[in-house]
Amino acid sequence: MDFINCFTPNELSVLASAIAIELAEGESADEINVLGNFIVAVGSLLLTIAAQEQNLQSIKDKQKEMQDLRKNKKNM
């Protein structure tokens, strides 16, 4: 997803707005509502995945830190 990294926050907001307008064009309010809820659900799941990845990485980092401390303590 390197393409996202080339946008400023404002540019990304404008892009999201343009996509939303294009997707909503010609659709009924019910269809737009369903699509919006679907997109929110996908976003929520992406956030859950990212949070768990960060959690697991944090656990791994703490375990490594503890191992390093034990190793340093033995070498004293």
Average pLDDT, the chain: 95
Q: Provide the H-helix boundaries in the chain.
A: 9-24, 29-74
First-to-last C-alpha distance (Å) of the chain: 46
Q: Whose CA is closest to 19, among 47, 39, 43? A: 39
pLDDT tens digits, 28-61: 999 999 999 999 999 999 999 999 999 999 999 9
Q: Any idea which residue has 């010609």 for tokens?
A: 26
Q: What is the pLDDT of residue 63?
A: 96
> How far apart, in whole angstroms, are the C-alpha atoms of residue 72 and residue 75?
5
The pTM assigned to this predicted structure is 0.74
Task: Mark 29-44 as b/e (b = at least 16 C-beta within 10 Å).
Answer: eeeeeeeeeeeeeeee
